[in-house]
Amino acid sequence: MTETSVYQPGYQETGVRCTMLRGGTSRGLYFEPGDLPADPSERDDLLLRLMGTPDSRQIDGLGGATSLTSKVAVVSRSAHPEADVDYLFLQLGVDRPTVSDRQNCGNILAGVGPFAIERELVRAGAAETSVRIRMVNSDSIAVATFATPGGRVEYRGDVAISGVPGTAAPIVLTFTDTQGSATGALLPTGNIRDRVDGIEITCVDNGMPVILAMATAFGLTGSETHEQLSTDPGLLERIDALRINAGQLMGLDDVAQSSVPKTVLLGPARDGGQVCTRSFIPVQPHTSIGVLAAVSVVTGMLLPGTVGHELTGDWPPGGSPIDVEHPTGHLLVDVLVDSSTEPPRVVRSGVVRTARKIFDGMVFPRS
C-alpha cells in the first residue's frame, strides 16, 4: 500500500502529499483525506496556501491564475454499497480566498479513477477498469471506465478533446441520479420557463445548476469570442444580476459569492455541431464549457417548451451524442430524457474525457 502523508502542524517544513492531474479541460490537486487536516476550516486554509490564493497570478502556489486550474479533489475509499470511492470536489477562488463545495466538477472527475488506481484505493483490471465514484457534493454516482493494461493506468492514447493540446487515452464517464444535484429538482423553479430581468430563461439541474438563455436576448449571436465577452463589463454585470436573481428562484438563496448557478447562452450551431454555447463561470466567460454544465444544457434543451428547445429539431433521436460547440471547440454529450413523466426523468447521461498525471510528490504551502 502506498503511504500517504499525515497532516502535522509543521507542514511548511514537511510538505503535503499531493498528485496533480489534468482532468478534461481542468487541472487540479488530488488528495486522500489523510493528506489534509480533518477540520474543514484548517483544510481550506491549507488548500488556499497551496494554491496561492488570494492572488490574481497565484504566483506563490500551484494555481494557474484561472478558476479552471484552481480545483481540488479529495478521494477516499467509499462505504457506499454502490461505490468504490468517494470524491469531494472543492472549487478555490483565485483573487478571493474562497473554497466552495456547492458544485460537482465533471472535468476533475475524469482524474478520480486514475488517481484511485495510482493510490491503490481500487484494484486495477488486467486490461480495463471501471471505478464507481460517489460524488459527495451531490450524493450521486458516476462510473469512470478507462484502460489499465497490465494493471497500470494508460494515459497515452489518440483521443483529442477541445481545449487540450495533443491526445490521450479515453475515459468514459457515465452518470446516474444527478438530476437535482444541488437544488433537489431537475427543474428547480418548478417551471419550464421563467422570466427574470426581462429575459426568458430555463433553470435546469442535471449535475450542475444552470440557467439557459438565448444569446439574442443579450444582443449577441452566441458565436462571440472569449475576449469579446470578457471585455464587455456591461454584459458581465447583466449576467451576474440575472444569475443572482435566478439563484433565488432556484432555491439557492444568496449566490452573489457562490460559484453556482452557471449561465449558458445558446445559439444555432455554426461549426457542424448541434448547438453553440457561451458559458459563464459564474460571471467570467468560460474558455470552453464544463462537463456537467454541458450535460445540464442538453438535458434542458431536450424538454419541450424550454429555452433552446426550438434548436433541437434536427437532433438525433434516442439520446445519441449531441455535439455542443463552445469557444475552443466541441464536446460530445450523451443524454436520454423521459419527458412523458411528471416531472421529467433523466434516463442516462455521459461524456468522453481524458486525463493525465502531471506530478506526484510533496507540495509545500506558503507560510
For 233-256, what is the mean pLDDT? 96
User: What are the cell numbers at 178?
Assistant: 444527478
Whether residue 115 is contained in a domain is answered as yes
User: Do the bridges between strand 345-353 and strand 355-363 make them parallel or antiparallel, or are there none, so unpaired?
Assistant: unpaired
Residues 6+ apart with CB under 8 A from 348: 174, 175, 176, 319, 334, 335, 336
Give CA–CA dist 224/124, Å, rounded: 44
The verdict on 232 and 199 lying in the same domain is: yes
- Domain contains 309: yes
Q: Are 17 and 154 members of one domain?
A: yes
**Nearest in space to 291 (alpha carbons), one of 261, 344, 332:** 332
288 and 201, same domain (yes or no)? yes
pLDDT at 8 over 70: no
Q: What is the pLDDT of residue 177?
A: 83
The number of domains in the chain is 2
**Are 242 and 329 found together in one domain?**
yes
Instruction: Write the burial class of residue 38 (CB in 10 Å: 0-12 exposed, 13-18 middle, 19+ buried).
Output: exposed
Calculate the CA dihedral of residues 122, 99, 300, 341 and round it to 10 degrees. Answer: 60
- Angle at alpha carbon of residue 332, lines to 343 and 194, rounded to 5°: 35
Judge whether residue 71 has pLDDT over 80.
yes
Does residue 358 belong to any structural domain of this protein? yes
210 and 157 fall within a common domain = no
Amino acid identity at 61: G
Considering the domain architecture, whether residues 166 and 24 belong to the same structural domain is answered as: yes
Beta strands in the chain (DSSP E): 16-23, 26-31, 71-77, 85-92, 99-100, 128-135, 140-147, 171-176, 194-196, 199-205, 209-214, 262-267, 275-280, 322-326, 329-338, 345-353, 355-363
Same domain? 201 vs 75: no
- Whether 267 maps to a domain, the answer reads yes
pLDDT band at 244 (very low <50, low <70, confident <90, very high): very high
Q: What angle do CA 153, 86, 281 make, to 5 degrees?
A: 90
Are 77 and 201 in the same domain?
no
Residue 2 lies in a domain: no
- Domain CATH for 277: 3.10.310.10
One domain for residues 244 and 331? yes
DSSP assignment letter at 55: -
Residue 6 has pLDDT above 60, yes or no: no
pLDDT value for 9: 55
Shared domain check, 171 and 132: yes
Domain that holds residue 64: 11-178+354-363
pLDDT at 31 over 80: yes
Is residue 189 one of the residues assigned to a domain? no
pLDDT in tens, 165-211: 999 999 989 998 889 989 999 999 999 999 999 999 999 999 999 99
- Which letter does DSSP use for residue 316 in this model? P
Same domain assignment for residues 358 and 307: no
Is residue 53, in this structure, part of any structural domain at all? yes
Task: Confirm whether 78 is domain-assigned.
Answer: yes
Q: Are residues 171 and 43 in the same domain?
A: yes
pLDDT digits (tens, 9 = 90+) for 257-274: 898 999 999 999 999 999
